[in-house]
Structure 1
Amino acid sequence: MFLAWLIGLCMMVAAGGIFYYYHVNYGIPYEKFRFENSNEFGILAPKDWEEYQNFNKIEIKAQIEGALLGKPIAYMFVIGMILFTIPTLKFLFKI
């Protein structure tokens, strides 16, 4: 039981570490794209077409990376949580 508890704890810590490392090093720099121009309806718009295209490329890249990296990290965290919780509850309710 202790081994399952330890593996679950390590999986949760690893998932959190990978998530943190990814966001620190490869986070999407949204502050680069400040749409300061607005049209007559008050909707913020990009300065020019190139800025809009660059923003769309960054958005698509973020969605793809989220699907390829986010789901496995979430699965890893959930499995680790299950492996951590079951032995903990068995230990607590054994007393």
Structure 2
Amino acid sequence: MFWMWITGLSLMLLAAHLYYKAQIKYGIPYEKFHFENSNEFGILAPKDWEEYEKFKKFEAKEQFRAALIAKPLVFMFGVGIFLFMIPTTKFIFRM
């Protein structure tokens, strides 16, 4: 039971660490793109349309890449929670 608990805890920590590393590497740098301004009616509009289109393509590519990375990490985290909670609940309700 102890090894099951440690394995679950390790899987959760590994999934969280890999998610953190993926966000650093593949996260969308919103601060890089400052192109919105508002007109006299208060409607937000891009300053440069080409830069806006480039950002939309970049954002779509990064969201697809994040989805490919996130699915295995969510599965790993879920298995880790399952392996962690079984021994924990057995320990709490052992009476």
SS in 1 for 2:35: coil
Q: Which residue of 2 aligns with 1:28?
A: 28
Q: Which residue of 1 aligns with 2:44?
A: 44
How far apart are the structure 2 equivalents of 1:15 and 1:31? 27
**1:1-95 maps to which residues of 2 (within 5 A)?**
1-95=1-95
More displaced stretch, 62-71 vs 10-19: 62-71
Q: Give structure 2 stretches of 5+ with no counterpart.
A: none
SS in 2 for 1:41: coil
SS in 2 for 1:94: coil
Query: What TM-score results when the alignment is normalised by the length of structure 2?
Result: 0.88
Q: How many residues align?
A: 95
Q: Sequence identity, in percent?
A: 57
Runs of 4+ in 1 over 6 A off after TM superposition: none
Q: Is contact 1:19-1:73 (8 Å) kept?
A: yes
How far apart are the structure 1 equivalents of 2:62 and 2:39? 27
Can you list the C-alpha shifts for 1:52-95, whole angstroms capped at 9, x where unaligned?
Answer: 11211121012201220111111111110011001110011114
SS in 2 for 1:42: coil
Query: What TM-score results when the alignment is normalised by the length of structure 1?
Result: 0.88
Residue 40 of structure 1 and its aligned partner are, at CA, apart by 3.9
Can you list the C-alpha shifts for 1:9-48, whole angstroms capped at 9, x where unaligned?
Answer: 1100000000111112322101111233223431222111
Q: Give structure 1 stretches of 5+ with no counterpart.
A: none
SS in 2 for 1:45: strand
